[in-house]
Amino acid sequence: MVKKSVGNVETKTFDVLGDLKLTSGKVLSNVSIAYETYGTLNSDKNNAILVCHALTGDAHAAGWHVGDRKPGWWDGLIGPGKALDTDKYFIICSNVLGGCSGSTGPSSINPKTGKAYGLDFPIITISDMVNAQYKLIQYLGVEKLFAVIGGSMGGMQVLQWAVSYPDMMKKVIVLASCARSSPQQIAFNEVGRRSIVSDPYWNNGEYYDKVNAPDAGLSVARMLAHITYLSEESMYSKFGRGLQDRDELSYDFALDFQVESYLHHQGKTFVERFDANSYLYITKAVDYFDLSINGSLAEGLKNIQSKVELISINTDWLYPSDQMVEILTALQANHVEVNYHELKSDKGHDAFLIEYPQLNFIINSFLSENIVDDLMDSVIPTISKDATIKEAAKIMFDNHVTHLPVVTDENVLIGIITAWDLSKSIAIGCNNLTEVMTKDVKVCKSSDSLEDIAKEMKMFDISSLPVVDDDLKLEGIITTDQISHLITNY
């Protein structure tokens, strides 16, 4: 399939109804969340994937805004034919709470004062960001996400989703992240924050109506952070000890080296799009992130129900692979179905934003390894063998279904009644359910491959299959309508 862009897109805004209670106990009112969507939500509303952005990202993950010089930050993964295929999935990405790209943050207007919040904005956590996203997902009419995916701070949000809302998604993908910030990571963030608050123009966070902003402090914070996003290998291959616009050393404090010029450029462009106070608040949320309970990560992750894909990067020294292995071990201790890949790249932490060929392959494989459990309905109407035909007809009519499993008091499947069976009962004048129900029922397991089940349903011209366990107890039902958007040639 030819991989294409999602084209021109616009950022939308969702206004949260009511107050948002924060982890700190404080409350935020009049909260707005900026978001973008790509693709179409299907009729079953089960193909939605939430993308969570990293520290200084935003809702613009793919496609083009009018006047853009480059597409959204994950355009290489989102679009027709890509891992996050917009012909299959409905992709959602929102700017985090506390951000400065459309979502409520310290640069937003405080409804109580009519001025920017500044430091009156309450401290937020990753959990608060996720709770705001949850309200957006509800607003969009999605009852259960197919997947949640994100890298770096986005990966923290993914794990928080899996812990806070364990039954809200089928799969999660965590890239280049951790389940609790390390002392080194906290230290880097604190140095960046000290750079900002030491800038004389920071003015205790009240600079929004001033001529000057703390651009110098924010620029240095970005320069420091950007060093941690690279690897020694990538810095050598990109810059080496090459000089910038000169043939010999200056023997003063000018920018002699290419790497110096590069970092200054990163700092300069960053202050043009990001707010210094937002940087303070978001890095603090990252520092507070810790999913362990009483020091035990296994205990903190014990409620996760999703299938998990973990992806680390072999040259990432900001979020090294051993932090991802720690998550892997904790999940395995809880018998969570989990895959782990270590990406081979010399790009360092930034590889999760760059290495598209590897990422497309790994992510597409994980999302495409669909089993019946990914899509089946687990809450379904059933009927007893002692019920009447009329009762069966009423249940089918009220629930808009054409197949009704017949079960014992112990929920063991003993047959199925279909709309065709109801027609047959009328034709032969029968009111006894057991006389017309199908007793030799084809069934499947929740762990069966969707592709295999789809082929079997086509072979036997079946539009619905009960899902049972080893004891024939009913677990759910899978229909051709549910899988048609994922498998097009079954």
Is residue 215 a part of any domain in this protein? yes
Is residue 222 a part of any domain in this protein? yes
For 183, the 3-state DSSP assignment is: helix
Structure tokens of 29? 């009112």
Is residue 472 a part of any domain in this protein? yes
**Which residue's entry shows tokens 């201790």?**
333
pLDDT at residue 372 is higher than 90? no
State the Cα–Cα distance between residues 401 and 66, nearest whole angstrom.
45
Domain termination residue (choose one: 254, 281, 308):
281
State the Cα–Cα distance between residues 97 and 26, nearest whole angstrom.
14
Task: For 28-58, write each residue's pLDDT tens digit.
Answer: 999 999 999 999 999 989 999 999 999 999 9
Number of DSSP helices (H) and strands (E) in the chain, helices first:
16, 15
The number of C-alpha atoms within 13 Å of 187 and in the hemisphere containing its C-beta is 5
Where in 258-358 does DSSP place strands (E)?
307-313, 338-343
Is residue 396 a part of any domain in this protein? yes
Residue 431 has a pLDDT of 81
Looking at the structure of the chain, the number of domains it has is 2
For 415, the 3-state DSSP assignment is: strand
Is residue 408 a part of any domain in this protein? yes
Residue 71 has a pLDDT of 96
Residue 490 has a pLDDT of 32
250: left (phi over 0), alpha (psi -120 to 50) or beta: alpha
Give the CA dihedral 477, 478, 479, 480, nearest 10 degrees: -170
- Residue 392: which CATH number? 3.10.580.10
Is residue 156 a part of any domain in this protein? no
Name the pairing type of β-strands 90-94 and 48-52.
parallel
Read off the pLDDT of each residue in 355-369 and give the average, rounded to a whole number. Answer: 92
Is residue 24 a part of any domain in this protein? no
- Lowest mean pLDDT, pick from 198-202, 287-291, 352-356, 365-369: 365-369
**Residues labelled as active-site residues:** 152, 316, 349
Angle of helix 215-229 relative to helix 258-271, nearest 10 degrees, comes to 120
Domain termination residue (choose one: 223, 250, 281):
281
Task: For 429-438, write each residue's pLDDT tens digit.
Answer: 888 888 888 8
With beta carbons less than 8 A apart as the criterion, state whether 423 and 444 touch. Answer: no
37: left (phi over 0), alpha (psi -120 to 50) or beta: beta
With cut-offs at 50, 70 and 90, classify the pLDDT of residue 449.
confident
Residue 486 has a pLDDT of 56
Is residue 27 a part of any domain in this protein? no
**Which residue's entry shows tokens 């507070």?**
288
Task: For 293-325, write each residue's pLDDT tens digit.
Answer: 999 999 999 999 999 999 999 999 999 999 999
Give the domain extent around 267. Answer: 182-281
Residues 6+ apart with CB under 8 A from 70: none
Read out DSSP for 14-48? Answer: EEPSS-EE-TTS-EE-S-EEEEEEES---TTS--E
State the Cα–Cα distance between residues 252 and 63, nearest whole angstrom.
44
Q: Is 151 exposed, middle or buried (0-12, 13-18, 19+ CB in 10 A)?
A: buried
Q: How far is CA 7 from the centre of its chain?
A: 22
- Residue 263: which CATH number? 1.10.1740.110
Read off the pLDDT of each residue in 279-287 and give the average, rounded to a whole number. Answer: 98
Domain termination residue (choose one: 281, 298, 330):
281
State the Cα–Cα distance between residues 399 and 395, nearest whole angstrom.
6
